[in-house]
Amino acid sequence: MQDKTIDETKQGDSLVLENKKENTKKLFIESYGCAMNFSDSEIVASILNDQGFNTTQNLEEADLVLVNTCSIRDKAEQTVRKRLEKYNAVKRDHNPKMKVGVLGCMAERLKEKFLDEEKIVDMVVGPDAYKDLPNLLAEVEAGNDAVNVILSKDETYGDIAPVRLNTNGINALVSITRGCDNMCTFCVVPFTRGRERSRDPQSILGEINELALKGYKEITLLGQNVDSYVWYGGGLKKDFKNASEMEKATATSFSQLLAMVAEAQPGMRVRFSTSNPQDMTEDVFHVMAKYRNICNHVHLPFQSGSDRILKEMNRQHTADEYRALVKRMWEILPNCSISQDIIVGFPGETEQDHQDTLQLMEDIKFTFGYMYKYSERPGTMAARKFEDNIPEATKKRRLTEIVDAQRTHAAYRTQQFVGKTTEVLIEKESKKNPDQWSGRNEQSIGVVFPKGNYKIGDFVKVKIHDCTSATLIGTSTPLSNQEAID
């Protein structure tokens, strides 16, 4: 069950694989929050790699410590503040020359305030300003504080080849859009990550081809709202009557990008996240049906099952529109799994609204999900318009109820696989049993099975004989029979 909030996840630092021999300075970088932050840290590591920095996993020896931060809920920010205290202690006790920088959403939200509030911080860099890092570092080395929190309308970092951090060499994140224009009233992202913009498809394909050459087997196309991906480009102006005709004729939509990616690397699994009910269109489902290597899984947050709350959240869909979208998805993709994000305790949420959320969960029976208590974010429309008036105990109880419901639905979904064979990409050794591999099937359900002669990165047909609510337990089919099942 993936009911743990994502801001509790953490990536310590990095792998040495792409470090350069001639580099002498040491960078310790850690990331909190969404996958986009993890992907951004790989861009930052790449920019600093060219500035003489190799990554280290040892905080005490770092010349530069960077923390890529999340502002989505208050708890995420508290976690980062604790880490800053830790860096402070290490700097004081072991490494007085160490410099500390704050990246990402908290940097953007708090800006210069960071330098006043947290004496330890030398540098504050917003999500669109990473290319300015060399100049900011020069400022810091000259003994000055350095801040760049300017948001951009066109920065996509499409020209930077990320240094893969903490990688298993199998799964990689590929960013396709940045920012979000949806303005859900509870969400700080439009303020911290700015306007929506899409990356040139050629640079996306270039990155994916490069990953394939290095042996990667699965990519996840990333964006706050992947369905709003659109690239206007290509074509010669003289072939068209005017600029807008050219833009329309040459635009690449998300479903077209997905098809291009799937076709470019048929041996690679393709995933994408996050989808948005109001922007997702049926053509995406048809492309998923057409290409075998696009995984049958959609992460489709719905936040609340109450139309009244959805309206106050400024979500541009009703609960029934969500149901209809999922129904259409299952007509086209009967085996597609679906996961959710839900917020409980939004201002004014009544017991009936909460029941509506439970009802929508019951109707869909999500494979897994991420569930949160509403956390008021300063500056958002919800913070300005509504009082955060649901008592903490009520939020807690409602969260427990939806987490319990999700567990039941997840168990129902995993049970459907018992007795069946499912294809698994091996990602790592099972944490619980070193004799077993752990991977995921295309529905993004975790699968464990005895190692046999397989290795990380293999695609294996696994016969499922048991399950928990989050994991399928199976046995691999012998190598010689693998193709026969196909």
Mark out the alpha helices in 215-277 (DSSP H runs): 243-250, 254-264
Q: Measure the CA–CA gap between 371 and 29, rounded to whole angstroms.
A: 27
Q: Does residue 462 bind ligand SF4 (CB under 6 A)? A: no
Which partner, ligand 5AD, ligand SF4, none, binds residue 190 by CB below 5 to 8 Å per kind?
ligand SF4
Which partner, ligand 5AD, ligand SF4, none, binds residue 375 by CB below 5 to 8 Å per kind?
ligand 5AD
Closest contact distance (angstroms) between CB of 112 and ligand SF4 is 25
Segment 411-414 long-range contacts (CB within 8 Å, at least 24 positions apart) = 411/467, 411/468, 411/469, 412/365, 413/337, 413/365, 413/366, 413/367, 413/445, 414/445, 414/467, 414/468, 414/469, 414/470, 414/471, 414/472
Shortest Cβ contact with ligand 5AD: which residue? Answer: 341
Closest contact distance (angstroms) between CB of 190 and ligand SF4 is 5
Q: Measure the CA–CA gap between 121 and 68, rounded to whole angstroms.
A: 13
Closer residue to ligand 5AD in complex, CB, 201/277: 277
Closest contact distance (angstroms) between CB of 400 and ligand SF4 is 23
Q: Does residue 26 bind ligand 5AD (CB under 6 A)? A: no
Closest contact distance (angstroms) between CB of 320 and ligand SF4 is 20
Q: Measure the CA–CA gap between 158 and 443, rounded to whole angstroms.
A: 29
One-letter amino acid of 486: D
Closer residue to ligand SF4 in complex, CB, 221/462: 221
- Helix or strand or coil: residue 463? strand
Q: Does residue 217 bind ligand 5AD (CB under 6 A)? A: no
Q: Measure the CA–CA gap between 209 and 287, rounded to whole angstroms.
A: 20
Which partner, ligand SF4, ligand 5AD, none, binds residue 90 by CB below 5 to 8 Å per kind?
none
Which partner, ligand 5AD, ligand SF4, none, binds residue 343 by CB below 5 to 8 Å per kind?
ligand 5AD
Give the pairing of strands 269-273 and 218-222.
parallel
Q: Hey, which residues between 271 and 310 contact ligand SF4 (CB under 6 A)?
A: 276
Q: Considering only 60-68, 181-189, 378-386, 408-416, which stretch makes contact with ligand SF4 by CB under 6 A?
A: 181-189
Contact code string over 335-354 relative to ligand 5AD, x by CB under 6 A = ------x-x-----------
Token pair belonging to 108: 């953007």
Q: Measure the CA–CA gap between 337 and 366, rounded to whole angstroms.
A: 7
Which residues share a beta bridge with 467?
472
Q: Measure the CA–CA gap between 418 and 108, rounded to whole angstroms.
A: 47
Binding residue (CB under 6 A) for ligand 5AD from 14, 31, 73, 410? 73
Task: Please give the biggest Cα pair distance in the chain.
Answer: 68
Which partner, ligand 5AD, ligand SF4, none, binds residue 73 by CB below 5 to 8 Å per kind?
ligand 5AD
Closer residue to ligand SF4 in complex, CB, 382/462: 382
Q: Does residue 301 bind ligand 5AD (CB under 6 A)? A: yes
Closer residue to ligand 5AD in complex, CB, 192/438: 192
Closer residue to ligand 5AD in complex, CB, 103/187: 187
Contact code string over 219-248 relative to ligand SF4, x by CB under 6 A = -----xx-----------------------
Closest to 472 (Cα-Cα) out of 433, 431, 451, 444? 444
Q: Measure the CA–CA gap between 314 and 308, rounded to whole angstroms.
A: 10
Q: Hey, which residues between 151 and 180 contact ligand SF4 (CB under 6 A)?
A: 180
Contact code string over 362-391 relative to ligand 5AD, x by CB under 6 A = ----------x-xx-x--------------
Token pair belonging to 50: 């060219």
Q: Measure the CA–CA gap between 485 and 269, rounded to whole angstroms.
A: 19
Q: Measure the CA–CA gap between 148 and 246, rounded to whole angstroms.
A: 35
Q: How many other C-beta atoms can be found within 10 angstroms of the C-beta atom of residue 16?
A: 9
Q: Report the interface residues with ligand 5AD, using CB under 6 A.
A: 72-73, 186-187, 301, 303, 341, 343, 372, 374-375, 377
Q: Report the interface residues with ligand SF4, using CB under 6 A.
A: 180, 182-184, 187, 189-190, 224-225, 276
